């Protein structure tokens, strides 16, 4: 399909620079079956789902993966996006023309790394020196890797270390938050449980590739970035049992959805999974593992807007986004949400 079919105009003032307070005070646009649009609040979620439904969350934890350093007199910026081994990460590097394999980059606070070769996407491998765990080095010298559409409008600050992390975050490794889950609070989880709505977690380490633009003119020519994920055998069995008894599997975020669909077989049975996925979901895809999706509002011509168009229909999603823009919904990572029930 032509990529420009997924374009739309978004006024810059619709981009949220901070999350709602409290988190579950955010708005949620509901598309349920063939019914019309409904404007609700995230705190209404218990009344929007049914007893026996299961919300599936991504428990990845965002690491401070953005670094500023020097190589000689050159200023170098690096955003880690994929772990290669215990001490080595691939990184998108700013001012990369000043970096060659073997160069030492000093990120301050006693944190240095040796540059390696570039991959076919232009990323450079960075091998961190010393014996301290890389996670400790990043906590000392790194910053939270806010999406470029927020970072271009304001600097990252200490508040983002809390704001850009979900309440489910446990497994270190993401360089972008699974933002649909940013709306959840302990109180909202209690209200969901009281209504008989179940929860389950899995892990997908979101990479910086999620922000890369689609440069191809046709979706068939786009190469999806790889991300590592895991679904434990017990979690897969529980989700299959929920569905077998009539419960719906509602992915919270496109990351949860992509991992569930990667792990499902042709009959829709979810299998234990551990490895990389490059799944690219566009209109025409037959969903196997999920019955709905809660997700924020996505960028024009992005792979994520293509995904929601595959789930609900492209024309319907274009109309829904036009409604959201007209009604003042807040877009992107810190913005409002939508509940999509095909």
Domain harbouring 280, CATH code: 3.40.1780.10
Specify the number of domains making up the chain. 2
- In SS3 terms, the chain reads as CEHHHHCCCCCHHHECCCCCCCHHHCEEEEEECCCCEEEEEHHHHHHHCCCCCEEEEECEEECCCEEEEEECCEEEEEEEEEECCCCEEEEEEECHHHCCCCCEEECCCCCEEEEEEECCCCCEEEEECCCCCHHHHHHHHCECCCCHHHHCCCCCCCHHHHHCCCCCCCEEEECCCCHHHHHCCHHHHHHHHHCCCEEEEEEECCCHHHHCCCCCCEHHHCCCCCEEEEECHHHHHHHHHHHHCCCCEEEECHHHHHHHHHHECCCCCECCEEEEECCCCCCCCCCCCCCEEEEECCCCCCHHHHHHHHHHCHHHHHHHHHHHHHCCCCECCCCCEEEEEC
In the prediction, which pLDDT does 122 show?
A: 82
Mean pLDDT computed over 30-38? 91
Q: Assess whether pLDDT exceeds 80 at residue 312.
A: yes
Per residue in 161-210, pLDDT (tens digit) is 999 999 999 999 999 999 999 999 999 999 999 999 999 999 999 987 77
Mean pLDDT computed over 236-265? 98
Range of the domain at 103: 66-142
Question: Domain check: are 75 and 44 in the same one?
Answer: no
User: Does residue 150 sit within a domain?
Assistant: no
Question: Domain check: are 113 and 208 in the same one?
Answer: no
In the prediction, which pLDDT does 82 show?
A: 87
Question: Domain check: are 70 and 58 in the same one?
Answer: no
Question: Domain check: are 27 and 55 in the same one?
Answer: yes
User: Does residue 192 sit within a domain?
Assistant: yes
User: Does residue 330 sit within a domain?
Assistant: yes
Question: Domain check: are 234 and 333 in the same one?
Answer: yes
Mean pLDDT computed over 19-26? 97
User: Does residue 156 sit within a domain?
Assistant: no
Cβ atoms of 98 and 75 closer than 8 Å: no
User: Does residue 229 sit within a domain?
Assistant: yes
Question: Domain check: are 191 and 238 in the same one?
Answer: yes
Q: What is the CATH number of the domain that holds 73?
A: 2.40.10.240
Question: Domain check: are 168 and 54 in the same one?
Answer: yes
337 burial type by CB count under 10 A (0-12 exposed, 13-18 middle, 19+ buried): buried
Per residue in 55-97, pLDDT (tens digit) is 999 999 999 999 999 999 999 999 998 889 999 999 999 999 9
Is this structure's pTM higher than 0.85? yes
In the prediction, which pLDDT does 148 show?
A: 87
Given phi > 0 = left and psi -120 to 50 = alpha, else beta, which region is 44? alpha
Question: Domain check: are 242 and 296 in the same one?
Answer: yes
Cβ atoms of 39 and 327 closer than 8 Å: yes
Q: Assess whether pLDDT exceeds 80 at residue 211.
A: no
In the prediction, which pLDDT does 271 show?
A: 98
Question: Domain check: are 53 and 95 in the same one?
Answer: no
């Amino acid at each position: 399909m032509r990529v420009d079919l997924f374009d739309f105009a978004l006024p810059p003032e619709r981009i949220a620079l901070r999350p709602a307070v409290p988190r579950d005070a955010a708005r949620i646009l509901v598309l349920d079956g063939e019914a019309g649009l409904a404007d609700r609040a995230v705190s209404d979620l218990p009344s929007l789902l049914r007893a026996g439904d299961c919300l599936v969350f991504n428990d990845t934890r965002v690491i401070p993966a953005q670094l500023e350093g020097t190589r000689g007199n050159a200023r170098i910026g690096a955003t880690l996006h994929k772990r290669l081994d215990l001490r080595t990460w691939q990184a998108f590097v700013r001012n990369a023309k000043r970096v060659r394999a073997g160069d030492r980059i000093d990120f301050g606070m006693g944190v240095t790394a040796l540059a390696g070769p570039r991959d076919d996407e232009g990323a450079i491998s960075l091998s961190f020196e010393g014996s301290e765990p890389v996670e400790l080095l990043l906590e000392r010298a790194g910053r939270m890797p806010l999406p470029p559409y927020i970072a271009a409008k304001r600097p990252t600050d200490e508040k983002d270390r809390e704001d850009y992390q979900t309440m489910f975050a446990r497994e270190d490794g993401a360089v972008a938050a699974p933002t649909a889950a940013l709306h959840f609070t302990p109180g909202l989880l209690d209200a969901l449980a009281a209504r008989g709505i179940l929860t389950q977690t899995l892990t997908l380490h979101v990479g910086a590739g999620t922000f890369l633009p689609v440069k191809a003119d046709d979706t068939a020519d786009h190469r999806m970035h790889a991300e590592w994920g895991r679904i434990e055998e017990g979690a897969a069995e529980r989700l299959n049992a929920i569905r077998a008894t009539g419960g719906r599997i509602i992915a919270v975020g496109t990351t949860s959805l992509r991992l569930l669909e990667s792990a499902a077989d042709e009959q829709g049975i979810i299998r234990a999974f551990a490895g990389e996925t490059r799944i690219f979901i566009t209109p025409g895809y037959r969903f196997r593992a999920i019955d709905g999706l809660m997700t924020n509002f996505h960028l024009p011509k992005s792979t994520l807007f293509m995904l929601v168009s595959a789930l609900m229909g492209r024309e319907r999603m274009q109309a829904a986004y036009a409604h959201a823009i007209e009604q003042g919904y807040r877009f992107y990572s810190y913005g409002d949400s939508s509940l999509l029930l095909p």
